[in-house]
Amino acid sequence: MAGEPVNVNEFEELARQVLPKISYDFFSGGAEDQHTLKQNIEAFRRITIRPRILVDVSKIDMSTIILGHKTSAPIIVAPTSSHQLAHPEGEVATARGAAACNVIMGVAFTSTCTMEEVASSCKAVRFIQTFAFKREITANMVQRAERNGFRAIILTADTPRLGRKEADIKNKMIAPPFKNFEGLISTVAVSDKGSNVEAYAAETLDPSFCWKDIAWLKSITKLPILIKGVLTGEDATKAIEAGVAGIIVSNHGARQLDYTPATISALEEVVHAVQVKVPVLFDGGIRRGTDIFKALALGAKAVLIGRPVIYGLAAKGETGVKQVIEMLKNELEQTMALAGCRTVDDITRSHVNTETERMECRM
């Protein structure tokens, strides 16, 4: 590709060019038919923006507060696995890039750098992500997270077992050693067929983990808990009853159950169920500042950015991470100005029309 990238999609093309096919497929792919993977992006295109004119937008303030932490924009780096497959410096480079942009970073427990390495790399607000692991693994993670200054726990709750990613199976994907598991399990999981990622999952995940177990997790930590993977009003209500500090609307980047709704299509149902009792965050399909604007208008407090950050990391390391985040911030600022919104709190439901609303208007 000639010239510098001017949008996030061009960073994906750069990443595709520099990464081995097996690594690119691991980061970019989704479950089974990849229907939800496509819809996560396509669904944004069915939402239109209703701008306001003649508003004083000489100063735009994108800052917001998430769980008491002020951030430069309503953007969080999503917790994603295996950053060293994208760049030798891995999550340390990602953390520095996020810190330079003054945004919160989610660090996956399945990272290729330890949480201690990430914590010592720079000063920033970070959340640690965990799955429904077996209890001894979870307890170890919580203790280390608290010791290393992490500010919240993201419980990814949509993974009692791994989704079926056919590209990884065909490629016989070999996951790198997950350093956070050293001393807890063997970090050289072996499988004689297909991806070895399933071997890790079988040894670490607890498929019996359910709503009542959140009480146990709360009992072993003082950190606030965000639950990730909520797509329905019913589960949002259960999450509130369980006492979580926040909800992340997510279909796991379409890597788990195919034919779930695009997350932007599920967002409002969750927001209505929560009724502002806790912040609702959004994850899935963000590629433009206009996408961020639409998610905020539909009730999200902030959005998580996953694959685009990985693509920036693969293309240019820490610099690429910064460029991707700043691109999205700049696009959001532009969208807010052109839509007549001076602050993120000015972005309201009346600023967007969904496909359903447009169809109703025609009837």
Q: What is the CATH number of the domain that holds 227?
A: 3.20.20.70
Catalytically active residues are 252
- Residue 36 resides in a domain: yes
Q: Is 286 annotated as ligand-binding?
A: yes
In 3D space, the residue among 274, 268, 234, 270 whose CA is nearest the CA of residue 356 turns out to be 268
Strand 352-353, strand 48-49: pairing: antiparallel
As to burial, measured by CB atoms within 10 angstroms (0-12 exposed, 13-18 middle, 19+ buried), residue 197 is buried
Helix (H) or strand (E) holding 114: none
Please report the pLDDT score of residue 252 as a whole number: 98
Q: Is 285 annotated as ligand-binding?
A: yes
Handedness of CA 293, 129, 106, 343 (dihedral sign): positive
DSSP per residue over 341-357, as a string?
-SBGGG--GGGEE-HHH
- Residue 118 resides in a domain: yes
- Alpha helices, DSSP H only, in the chain? 8-18, 21-28, 35-45, 90-100, 115-121, 135-147, 166-171, 197-204, 213-219, 233-242, 263-274, 289-297, 307-339, 355-362
- Residue 3 resides in a domain: no
Domain span at residue 137 reads: 8-362
In 3D space, the residue among 326, 349, 313 whose CA is nearest the CA of residue 62 turns out to be 326
Q: Is 287 annotated as ligand-binding?
A: yes
- Residue 1 resides in a domain: no
pLDDT tens-digit readout, 138-185: 999 999 999 999 999 999 999 999 999 999 999 988 888 888 887 776
Q: Is 129 annotated as ligand-binding?
A: yes
Please state, as a whole number, how many other Cβ atoms lie within 10 Å of the Cβ of residue 252.
24
On whether the CB atoms of residues 227 and 244 are closer than 8 A, the answer is yes
Q: Is 228 annotated as ligand-binding?
A: yes
How many separate domains does the chain show? 1
CA terminus-to-terminus distance, the chain? 46
**In angstroms, rounded to a whole number, what is the distance separating the alpha carbons of residues 1 and 276?**
45
**In angstroms, rounded to a whole number, what is the distance separating the alpha carbons of residues 72 and 93?**
19
**In angstroms, rounded to a whole number, what is the distance separating the alpha carbons of residues 8 and 318?**
15
On whether the CB atoms of residues 315 and 18 are closer than 8 A, the answer is yes
- Residue 2 resides in a domain: no
Query: Within the chain, which residues score under 50 in pLDDT?
Result: none
Please report the pLDDT score of residue 177 as a whole number: 80
Please report the pLDDT score of residue 145 as a whole number: 95
Q: Is 229 annotated as ligand-binding?
A: no
- Residue 217 resides in a domain: yes
Q: Is 134 annotated as ligand-binding?
A: no
What the block records as the tokens of 299 is 């009730």
